[in-house]
Structure 1
Amino acid sequence: MKYLFIFTNFIIGSCLASHAAVVYEHWNDKNFIYSRSQCNNCHLELSILDEIPLLSYLFLQGKCRYCYQQIPVELFLFELIGGFAFCLLDFSKTQDIITAILLFSLLVVAISDYQKQEFDLLLLIPAISVAILFNQFAAFTLIDWISFTLLLGIFSYSIMQRKMGLGDLLIYLIIACYFTPSFANLVFLFASILVIAIFLIEKTPINHRYPFIPYIFIGLVLTQLIF
Structure 2
Amino acid sequence: MAGTLPFYIFAFVFGAVVGSFLNVCIYRLPNGQSVVLPPSHCPNCDYKIRFYDNIPMLSYLLLRGKCRSCRTPISLQYPLVELINGLLTLFLFIKFGPTLTFLFLFIFSSALVTITFIDLEHQIIPDIISLPGIIIGFVASFFLPWLGWKNSLIGMLLGGGSLLVVAYGYQFLTKKEGMGGGDIKLLAMMGAFLGWRSVPFIIFVASLVGSIVGVTLMLVQKKDSKLAIPFGPFLAFAALLYVFYGREIIWWYMSLAGPSPGG
Pick the TM interval, shorter chain.
Answer: 0.7 to 0.9
**Retained in 2: the 8 A contact 1:84–1:221?**
no
After superposition, the Cα gap between the structure-2 partners of 1:107 and 1:174, relative to the gap in structure 1 and judged at 3 Å, is: same
Query: In 2, Cα distance between the equivalents of 1:86 and 1:158?
Result: 37
- SS, match of residue 181 in structure 1: coil
TM-aligned CA distance change 1:109 to 1:150, over 3 Å:
closer
> Which whole-Å CA distance do the structure 2 matches of 1:72 and 1:159 have between them?
37
- TM-score, with length taken from structure 2: 0.69
Q: Provide, for residues 68-112 of structure 1, a one-character-per-residue CA deviation record: whole Å limited to 9, x for no partner.
A: 222112223222222233221468433432333333334333333
Between the aligned residues of both structures, percent identity stands at 22
AA partner of residue 211 (structure 1): P
Question: Are the equivalent residues in 2 in contact too, given 1:81–1:218 (CA < 8 A)?
Answer: no
Report what 1:67 is aligned to: 70
Determine the C-alpha separation between the residues in 1 that align with 2:59 and 2:211: 32
The gaps in structure 1 that reach 5 residues or longer are none
Amino acid at match of 1:176: G
Contact 1:24 / 1:112 at 8 angstroms: preserved in 2? yes
Q: Summarize the alignment of residues 17-32 of structure 1 with structure 2, pairs less than 5 Å apart.
A: 17-27=19-29, 28-30=32-34, 32=35
From 94, 101, 111, the equivalent of 1:105 is 111
Aligned alpha-carbon RMSD (Å): 3.3
Deviation of 1:168 after TM superposition, in Å, equals 0.8
CA displacement at 1:6 relative to structure 2:
3.5
Bigger drift between 186-195 and 176-185 goes to 186-195
Separation in structure 2 between the aligned mates of residue 14 and residue 218 of structure 1, nearest angstrom:
19
Paired residue for 1:58?
61
Task: Name the structure 2 match of 1:128.
Answer: 134
CA distance in 1, matches of 2:202, 2:50: 37
Q: Which residue of 1 aligns with 2:253?
A: none
Give the superposition deviation at 1:22.
0.9
Q: Which moved more, 1:21-30 or 1:41-50?
A: 21-30
Residues 5-45 of structure 1: per-residue CA shift (max 9 Å, x gap): 33432222222122022124344232x23543222222212
Structure 1: how far apart are the matches of 2:195 and 2:171? 22
Partner of residue 219 from structure 1, selected from 238, 242, 246: 238
How many angstroms does 1:175 deviate by? 0.9
- Number of matched residues? 223
Give distance in 1, aligned partners of 2:132 and 2:229.
25
How far apart, in 2, do the equivalents of 1:58 and 1:156 lie?
47
**Higher RCO (C-alpha 8 Å, min separation 6):** 1
Alignment-mate amino acid for residue 8 of structure 1: F
- Which of 1 and 2 has greater Rg? 2
> 1:151 offset after TM fit, Å?
5.8
Residue type of the partner of 2:118? S
- 1:150–1:116 distance in 2 versus 1, CA, 3 Å: closer
* TM-superposed deviation, 1:127: 0.4
| Alignment TM-score, normalising by the size of structure 1 | 0.78
| Residue pairs, 1:40-189, within 5 angstroms | 40-87=43-90, 88-89=92-93, 92-135=98-141, 136=147, 138-139=150-151, 153-158=165-170, 161-189=176-204
**What amino acid does structure 2 have at the position aligned with 1:48?**
F
Q: Which amino acid aligns with 2:8?
A: I
